[in-house]
Amino acid sequence: MVPCLSSGAVIAGVLTFYLLIVRGSTDGFLSTGQLIENHGHQSYSKHSVITEDGYIINLFHIKGQGGPPFLLLHALMGASDQWLLRDGDHDLPSILVNSGYDVWLGDFRGNIYSKKHTHLNVSDPEYWKFSIDEWAYYDVPAMMDYVCNNTEYDKMYLVTYSLSSAIVLATASARPEYNDKIIVSYHLAPFLAFTNIKSLLLRIGIQFGEFYLAISRSIKNHELFSRNHWTMNSISLFCNKKSIFLKACVTLLSEFFGFDTSGNSTMDLDFKLTYSRAGVSLNSIDHLLQMIKANKFQHYDLGHNKNLQKYGRPKPPEYDLRKVTSPVVLYYSKNDRVVDSGTIHKLISVLPNVYQTIMIPHNKFGHIDYAFNSNAKTLVFDSVINIARQFRIAPIHQQYGYYYY
């Protein structure tokens, strides 16, 4: 049955579509560093990492008490600040640091914190010629190498959310040597190409996706979902707690993603939504739409001739998930309208080392509740700590009998 949406929800939906391509300044929002400080962590640092193909990407480091490092990777269109939208008692980075772990927050190329290159300018169309493949092949390995080179450990825990799950699995498939650097990877609502999307609105958006991309290409807009002053004000106007459109905003989010409206997810909704978009390349969205339509977890389809040049075949190859040999933990929920249980079951059947599968014990917990809902601490994050303790490792110098004083 097609859900009946209010006129306010329709208006909000139209506004959401318009906000995809609008540009502007980013004054007025708190950066990842400022959010970290607001959570009570003064001992943090920002790091620039150069990838093999010349992109300069960002890592934020919150120093723990010497425990093994955690690398946290954001969802599609998001950034590292996506992990810091609650208070210090309920957000995963603080929970990990307070438990003694080192925490690193990564930003993929093209988002608001990672828009530099060794010789390309962000205004150069050439800069934006990357897809999900480049995030997987270059960005994740560069982050992992940097963390290993700047801690006393040669392995780390990885936490992914939504599409970053697919990115890490693609990394472990395309560059299987990086499995050896993963203690265990946690996949919160892993979004892969073969998911059965329940959201009617999202399915409609996917159907018209190529049309949206064509408009962006025609106006030479290579970046989508940028964070800017105009969108921040619009979100605040329509989704603040006093807005007459707040109910429509909540309805729209619930239909798009699955949203626990019974809890505290709607608290400061306009603030949280501001951080749900931080810039992404048009090619990355194009790549995602290709995979969903083909129902295959595959490389970017460049067209017949370019595929022959790059892949040696007319069609792009699929990522071989059987090469993901490192331990994997999968999280999913009943009210997730983006990732269904079928996705989890398929991953279980293909991945060779699924350590644990966890269904969130809350019927209304949805796709965006991992980032928005304070109940995620007890429903999700506490288990991250418990599982990490089952995979304890020693620093490199202890492994080989050397000690630092």
Would you tell me how many other CB atoms lie within 10 Å of the CB of residue 386? 9
Q: Is 157 helix (H, G, I), strand (E, B) or coil?
A: strand
Burial 257-276 (b: 16+ CB within 10 A, else e): bbbbeebebbebbbbbbbbb
Q: Which of 162, 164, 265, 374 is catalytic?
A: 162
H/E stretch holding 102: strand 101-107
Residues 6 or more apart whose CB falls under 8 angstroms from that of 164 comprise 73, 74, 75, 76, 108
- State yes or no: is 367 an active-site residue: yes
Q: Which of 91, 286, 336, 369 is catalytic?
A: 336
The answer to whether residues 68 and 101 touch, using CB atoms and an 8 Å cutoff, is yes
Residue pointed to by tokens 């093999």 = 52
Specify which residues 281 forms β-bridges with.
Answer: 223
Alpha-carbon gap, residue 318 to 350, rounded angstroms: 13
Which DSSP letter does residue 344 get?
H
- State yes or no: is 47 an active-site residue: no
Burial group, residue 341, by CB count within 10 angstroms (0-12, 13-18, 19+) = middle
Alpha-carbon gap, residue 267 to 116, rounded angstroms: 34
Q: Which of 41, 74, 117, 367 is catalytic?
A: 367
Phi-psi region of 225 (alpha: psi -120 to 50; beta: other; left: phi over 0): left
**Which residues are known to be catalytic?**
162, 336, 367
